[in-house]
A and B are shown apart, each in its own frame.
Chain A
Amino acid sequence: MDLFPPDKILVDRVKNGDREAFTTLMERYQQKVFQTSMGFLHNQADAEDLTQEVFIKSYKSMKSFRGESSFGTWIYRITVNKAINQLRRNKLRAFAGLDAMKGEDSAADTNADAPLLRKEQKEQIKDALTKLNNAQKKVFVLFYYQELNLKEVAEVLELSPKATESLLFRARKNLQKELD
């Protein structure tokens, strides 16, 4: 038996009802999905909730995954879309004043382990990242948090590499302006 079966084989097994195969896929991708979620949400608990949602969604939708892209590309695409939806919901909650307490908690939990950057510096960076438009945000997170190269980012977002490069440049330029 293959100890490190490729994703494609695991996906086929999941489609045939093999739950263990899905656990292996989760083990392979959970940290990456979580890291990407952090790039959008900047809060550990929210990022874990999103990671959970992404895997549940991918499991339920596995039958519709035709394997035209790799499993990785597909799951990052789900992550990015779900993260953007979550940000929209967060905006609505903030607008309704539901997140006042939560914001304080999140600032505390991400600061606890690594007090290398000051709290206000972190808040300023989070603000600047939040202000990027969705397209720039997606490219930025996949490139810096997921460490995908431009071609891979382009594939996940179904963009041309040129457009991806341009979005990344504009994201960096906007962040530069916001942080100055």
Chain B
Amino acid sequence: MSFLIGESMTGGYGSADILHDCTIGVERGEIAVVVGPNGAGKSTAMKAVFGMLNLRQGRVMMDGQDITALSPQQRVHQGMGFVPQTSNVFTGMSVQENLEMGAFIRDDDFLGTMEQVFDLFPILKQKRRQPAGELSGGQRQQVAVGRALMTQPQVLMLDEPTAGVSPIVMDELFDRIIDIAKLGIAILMVEQNAKQALNIADKGYVLVQGANRFTDTGEALLADPQVRQSFLGG
């Protein structure tokens, strides 16, 4: 069984289900990528795994433990970190304060972790006193990822970390994400840039209308003509 897995999740925001028997998971030190058309329920699936959605069926397991009943805050304590798709930084607070808030649950000295984040994203060190709301889109995403890393999570969940950034910055962000995975952190991410993302993915999930359509290694999905045809633009 995977290190983190949302199994046969069924549920939605109100009475109508968005997810239908959807399963996504990831191993330690690996990258799993969720792709699919807009409105497929990718973000919803991520929220479900993070406990921000009431599931009618299915369960979420982490490290062999059933965490379905835990609140998002409790999951943070369990070692999960989440970067939402939108409004994922504290815009009015400085870069450094954003990172400090990321480390809010930690009682130990987190300056070492902050240095690690600055090593990963040097631009943040330079802009540490600037309000996060005054950064460029790409820099803001780095703050968002950095904030989530401050808890030293075992799992990092990213919802479209490269949304709205240029191809060069995107490649750079992907490189950093690979670096993070190499630290032994499990990375579960949603990506709109499906080809590039599947390229670095150990595992890929194609979601359509809240259900799993294809599940395989990143490589295999990229090679699958059906997947290429319908979801990767040929």
Check if A and B associate.
no
Spell out A's residues near B (CB within 8 Å): none
